[in-house]
Amino acid sequence: MALSCNLSYLLGVLRDGCLSKSGLKTEVTLAADLNLEWLSYIAGLAADEFSLPKQKFKAYKVWDRKSRRQCYRLKVYSKRVFDLLTSHYSEKTQLYWNTPKAIACSAIELQKRYIAGFYDAEGGCRNVDNFLSGKTKTLHCWASIRCKHEGFNEPLNYIKMILSSIGITSSIYDSDELVMTGKRNLSLFYKTIPLKHGQKRDDLKKLLIFARALSADA
């Protein structure tokens, strides 16, 4: 299947997903999130992309040990979807997933959609609401994308390279977090990368409005 805008975005989203197989049973976790509205959007996008009924994509409530709260995992049991996605990522743990070759060889607009999916799944502006409400007193104008990887973190370094090509400066901290700082970088990221996660896009917008880098009607 040739890369489309939707598939490019979904390959980014899948960075927070999983591809597993037990015997003849295949399982695809497309994403995990607290936001059911975004997961419903992903289900609709995947249903259109893979020509399946949306109801085949189900959100299961699970306990997230990392955040210590309940979240949802969007799953589909489909060998065809599994085979398609494992042509881009291996069945191995995400620690060994590099940037899909199809993305690396694609046009910049598809690469932007891949980055958007990656950010929507694994990025954000931490504690922005606490800062804007006065609960915390300091917050740098920054946003980040997190990705653990075995050895050299190729996925984050790839994103860093693409962002640099469109004028956005970023840095990688502790080998597993790509960080963008400063009003200019975050404003350009907001305007250039087509984010679809409503809450994460709104968090970034609120931060930029507070920093007077964006108007309220942008």
Domains of the chain: 5-91 (3.10.28.10), 118-210 (3.10.28.10)
Tell me what pLDDT residue 128 has: 74
Tell me what pLDDT residue 93 has: 81
The C-alpha atoms of residue 115 and residue 165 are separated, in whole angstroms, by: 13
Sign of CA dihedral 163, 31, 93, 4: negative
Identify the three-state secondary structure at position 24: coil
Identify the three-state secondary structure at position 203: helix
Q: Which two tokens stand for residue 105?
A: 């060889």
Which residue matches tokens 């306990």? 63
26, 77 in Cβ contact below 8 A?
A: yes
pTM for the full predicted model: 0.93
Tell me what pLDDT residue 22 has: 85
pLDDT over threshold 80, residue 64: no
Which residue matches tokens 């046009």? 107
211, 139 in Cβ contact below 8 A?
A: no
